[in-house]
Amino acid sequence: MDKITIEKLHIYAYHGVHASEKENGQDFYVSAVLFTDLYRAGHSDALEDTVNYSDAAKLIHRVFTAEKYDLIERAANAVAEALLDRYPSLGSATIRVDKPDAPIGLEFDTVSVNITLSRHTAYLGIGSNMGDRQGFIDKALAMLDETPGISVTAKSSIIETEPYGGVEQDPFLNGVVEICTYMSPYALLDRLHEIENACGRVRTIHWGPRTLDLDILLYDDLHMNEKELTIPHPDMKNREFVLKPLAEIAPHLIL
């Protein structure tokens, strides 16, 4: 992918774990590599077809100085998130923060961190079989779309299905949502749990009744199998209430 680079933007800011760093401040140098498609701009010669690097530099400066962080990792992440939120055409952003006057007590050139955030396409299963089923689903969709770093890009029809897993309970409403996100899989999982909890989800019976169920089905082409998270969802192939709405909004997928 094409890229726009801003090298070593000089910013005086107040980041550091020591009180003196937050009180006195120091010099930082922030570099950004913005990955985007520049084909149209290369032919049109129009500013609206690219990322205005002057505006981007001012955004970096504004975000980097808006708060006082202990870690330059946090400052770099805040800048990357702000750039992706501001410029939908960016596929990813790499931010480097140099801290040449870090209080190390040894001779050195600079200390730096690099953070890259990228946009990912994920598919989420959503279901409810307790209380106001449609109300819980609507609330979850709204909370997803209001979450920084998540945009809901497609929603399937909501279908009523019989319960799965052998536990006697009421029918479910189920659907699938496509999102664009720069969250990592675990950060996304944490956010889904927050939304479930906000809708009164209580985990007592495995595959039992629930006010809201949110599952990560797919995350780009990622394959992972860890204790807390498996992607693709391991039981997806056996669930028509997942496959049918997924096929509705993403018929191109080959699982």
Please tell me the predicted confidence (pLDDT) of residue 202.
61
Residues with Cβ within 8 Å of residue 108, at least 6 apart in sequence: 102
Count of other CB atoms within 10 angstroms of residue 45: 8
Second CATH level (architecture) for the domain 3-118: 2-Layer Sandwich (3.30)
**What's residue 189's pLDDT?**
96
Q: Does domain 120-249 have CATH number 3.30.420.40?
A: no
Here the tokens at position 192 are: 């889904």
Residues 35 and 2 sit within 8 Å (Cβ to Cβ): yes
All structural domains of the chain with their residue ranges: 3-118, 120-249
Q: Tell me the C-alpha to C-alpha distance, in Å, between residue 5 and each of 52, 113, 215.
A: 11, 16, 37
Query: From the candidates 8, 58, 99, 139, which is the catalytic residue?
Result: 99
CA distances from residue 35 to 86, 118, 235 in whole angstroms, order as listed: 14, 9, 35
Task: In whole angstroms, give the CA distance from residue 42 to residue 58.
Answer: 23
Q: Do 76 and 13 form a contact (C-beta atoms < 8 A)?
A: no
227 is catalytic: no
What whole-number distance in Å separates Cα of residue 239 and Cα of residue 164? 8
User: In the 8-state DSSP scheme, what is residue 148?
Assistant: T
Output the pLDDT for position 169.
Answer: 67
Stretches where the chain sits below pLDDT 70 are 164-169, 201-209
